[in-house]
Structure 1
Amino acid sequence: MTTVAPDSDVRRHELAEFLRSRRERIAPEQVGLVRGQRRRTPGLRREEVAHLSSVGVTWYTWLEQARDIHVSAQVLDAVARALLLDVSERSHLFALAGSLDPAPPAQCPSVTPAVRAMLDQLGPIPACVQNSRYDILAYNATYGRLLGNLDDKRPEDLNCMWLAFTDPQWRAAVVDLPATHRVMAAKFRAAMAEHLGEPAWRTLLDRLVGVSAEFREVWARHEVVGQGTKSKDIRNAHVGLLRLEHTNLWLGPGAGPRLVSYVPRDQETRERLEQLERLAEPSAAGVPVSV
C-alpha cells in the first residue's frame, strides 16, 4: 500500500530545501561578513542567516529541518531579505510557506508596457487587469476612481473580493450589493476549483471568512457561476449613477489574467465617465500588485 504524505509535510520539506539551497549560494562578503580561513560551510551558516534576519538560531534551524512550526509573514520577509531573494524566489518562498507577502513586488509580469498603454488609451472607459483570483494588477485613471480611490489602498488589499466585502467606499458605490455579493462569491468558488492547493487562494479565503459575516453567509450557499458579460450600475461618489456594460478580454489561454472594461450604456454615462476621468487625472493610476 502506497502512503501519500500530507500536503503540509511536502511544503515544509520543499521550503527547507529551498532555504538551504539559497543560503549555500551566498558568499559571506555579499552580506558584509568576513570569510574566516577555517570556513568549511558553503555559503552562509545557519546562525549567520538567523542573525541577519533577527530571528533565533534554534528557530531558523527548525525551519531548515522542516519542523512543524508557525512562520509569520514578517519573519519570512526578514529571511527573504537576508538571503537576497529576487522577485521570483521571494514569491516562491511565500507560496511554500502558505503566507501572504506583506511587501509584494512593485511590478507584475502579466502587465506589459503594451497592456498598460492599452489601459490608458481606453480612458474614459474604466478598465483594469485582473487575475483569476480577482487581484487588481493594474488600472487606468477612471477605474481608479470608479468605486472609491484605489490609490489609497494597500497593495495586499487590491482585490475585488476583498474590497466588495470590506471596503466602505466600494460597498457604497454598488447599487445592488447583496446580489453582487452572491455573484462574486459564486464566481470566486468556480475559479478556485482549479487552485484549491494554492496558498494565495487559501489566504484570501481565510481573510474573507475571518472578517465578513456577509461573505460567510453567501459562501455557505456553495453556488457557482462562470464569467460573462453583464450590465452593472454603479453610484459614483463624484459624478452620480453610471450605467455600464461589464466585459472581459482574456490576455492568455485559460482563466488567467484578463482585461476588464466598463463600457457606458448611454450617452449620459459616457459624459459622466469623461468628467470622472478629468477628476482622476492628477493622481497616478495603475499601481500593480504581485500575481
Structure 2
Amino acid sequence: MPAGLGEFLRSRRERLTPEAVGLPLGRRRRTPGLRREEVAELAGIGVDWYVRLEQGRTVRPSAATIDALAAALRLDDTERAHLAVLARQTARPAFEPETVPPAVKRLIEGLDQPAYATGRRWDVLAWNDAAGELFTDFGACADEDRNILVYLLLDPATRRLFGKDWAAMARHTVTQFRAAHDVFAGDPMFTRLAARLAAGSPEFTAWWEDHDISVGRGSGRKVLHHPVRGVLTYDYATFQANDDAAVRLTVYAPAK
C-alpha cells in the first residue's frame, strides 16, 4: 500500500490530544498526540492491524473501518474523503505530466482575459499572453520553473503582486498540493518539487509540516498590485477538462 495513507494517519493522530477524544491524560507522553493503541481502541480495530496501516504495509481496510478511523481521528468531510482515496489505492504508476487537449489549448490562447491550465503538481501546462502579462512570462521560464507553487513561493515579485492576500492564497495552494502529494507519495516528481520548495521557502516548510489538505476553490476574487497597471481586481473561475479531470483551466475577468 502506498506510503501516503500511513503518513496521513500519523499526522492526524499526532495532532489530537487525549482530552479532545475523551481519554484520561494518564502518564507523561514523550511525543505529541494520541498513541497508536488509543486510536485503535477508539476505532474498534486491532492495534497490530492499525500499526500495519501506519507503516504502509499491505492492508485493505473496509469502508466501515475507514469510517471508524475517520471518526476516531475527528476528521472533517474533506479529510474523510482523502482518507478513503488513500485507503483504496494500490501501487501507482510513476507520475506522468498531463497534456492539455489541443482544443483547450486553442481556447486558452484565444481568450483576451488571463487564462492558464495546470496539472496535479501545479505545473503550468498552457497559458495565454494576458496571463503572462498579468502574472509572469511563463514562456521565458525554464521548464522546472513553470509551476504555480514555484511562482508563488520562490518569486519575490509574487508577494508584492498579491499583497496582504499572499499568505492565505499561498497556504491554500500548498494544502491542495499536499493532497495530491499524498496520492503520489514517494514519486520523485513530487518529492523533488516539495524538497525544492522547502529549501527556498520557510513558509512552505511550516505549512507542509501541518499536513493540512484541501480541495480547490472553484471561483473567487483576487486583488492584485501590478507594478505597471496599479491595483486590479479580478474574479476567477476554475474548471476541469472533460478529456482529463487532472487538467484545471483557470480564467480571470475584471471584477465589476
TM-score band by shorter chain is 0.5 to 0.7
Equivalent runs, 1:261-272 vs 2, <5 Å:
261-266=251-256
SS class of match (1:248): strand
Q: Which residue of 2 aligns with 1:167?
A: 155
Distance 1:164 1:128, change over 3 A: same
- Tell me the TM-score normalised to structure 1 length: 0.51
CA distance in 1, matches of 2:176, 2:125: 18
Deviations 1:77-109 (A, max 9, x none): xxxxxxxxxxxxxxxxxx97x9xxxxxxxxx87
Aligned position for 1:208 = 197
Identity of matched residues, %: 28
Structure-1 separation of matches of 2:140 and 2:159: 16
Q: Does 1:137 find its partner at 2:151?
A: no
Q: Secondary structure at the match of 2:126?
A: strand
Q: 1:184 is matched with which residue: 155, 170, 173?
A: 173
Give 1:138's aligned amino acid: A
Which amino acid letter does the alignment assign opposite residue 102 of structure 2?
P
Does the C-alpha gap of structure 1 residues 219 and 141 become closer, same or farther in structure 2, counting only changes over 3 Å?
A: same
1:209 deviation in Å? Answer: 1.1
**Given that residues 240 and 246 in structure 2 are in contact (C-alpha distance below 8 angstroms), is that contact kept between their aligned partners in structure 1?**
yes
Aligned pair partner of 2:110 in 113, 121, 135: 121
Shift of residue 219, structure 1, vs aligned partner: 1.5
Q: TM-score, normalised by structure 2?
A: 0.58
CA distance in 1, matches of 2:236, 2:141: 23
Q: Report the Cα distance in structure 1 between the residues aligned to 2:244 and 2:99, rounded to whole angstroms.
A: 14
Q: Which amino acid aligns with 1:198?
A: D
Unaligned runs of at least 5 residues, structure 1:
7-94, 99-107, 267-291
Please tell me whether the aligned partners of residues 173 and 235 of structure 1 are also in contact (alpha carbons under 8 angstroms).
yes
Residue identity matched to 1:167? D
Greater C-alpha radius of gyration: 1
Alpha-carbon shift at residue 184 of structure 1 (Å): 1.3
Deviant stretches of 4+, over 4 Å: none
Distance in 2 separating the partners of 1:135 and 1:190: 15
Confirm or deny that 1:242 pairs with 2:232: yes
Contact 1:148 1:169 in 2 (8 A): no
Number of equivalences = 164
The residue aligned with 1:226 is 215
Alignment check: 8 A CA contact 2:98 2:246 kept? no
Does the Cα contact within 8 Å between 1:132 and 1:255 map onto a contact in 2?
Answer: no
Q: CA deviation at 1:254?
A: 7.1
Change (3 A) 1:182 1:121: same
- Give the deviation of 1:224 after TM superposition: 1.7
Q: CA RMSD in A?
A: 2.6
CA distance in 1, matches of 2:237, 2:146: 20
Gap regions ≥5 residues in structure 2? 4-92
